[in-house]
Amino acid sequence: MAVINTNSEHEKLLARLMRAEAEGEGELGMLMVGNVGVNRVLSNCLDFQGIRNLEQMVFQSPGGFEATQKGYFYQRARDRDIRLARRVISGERVWPASNSLWFFRPGGACPATWYDQQNSGVYKNHCFFQPTYEDCPGVY
């Protein structure tokens, strides 16, 4: 059962985002990007107040994703990508992105905090950051 309301077009948008942001980090990395996206829809807090669906989340500006803002969000969603997107839409969570609202790829080591958000862990080249429960209970 889906944890957010969606439709097939929104699933494809999430799949494309996951591919654009983390294809080089394999399925697990793509699932983590999907977790961050779904968490942004669920959260309704901090930078993501009023983000109520996947389309709004994917194209949020400012505060959105580099892939949509810098032009490498152009590849179509493959069947494999859509299956991965459906897994996170159905509630599958992967640490360290389980409760994260942000990730980025630093030039060096991951900082302990990023814009006052705690580092929840690293996977390959991406650092993940999550809010506290008090600041954002919707992602927990």
Q: Please, which pLDDT band fits residue 17 given cuts at 50, 70 and 90?
A: very high
pLDDT number for residue 74: 85
Alpha-carbon 96 to chain mean position: 12
Mean of per-residue pLDDT scores for the chain? 94
pLDDT above 90 (res 56): yes
* Cβ neighbourhood burial of 123 (10 Å; 0-12, 13-18, 19+): buried
**Six-digit token pair at 47?**
């930078």
Strand partners, 45: none
pLDDT above 80 (res 72): no
pLDDT above 80 (res 71): no
Alpha-carbon 82 to chain mean position: 15
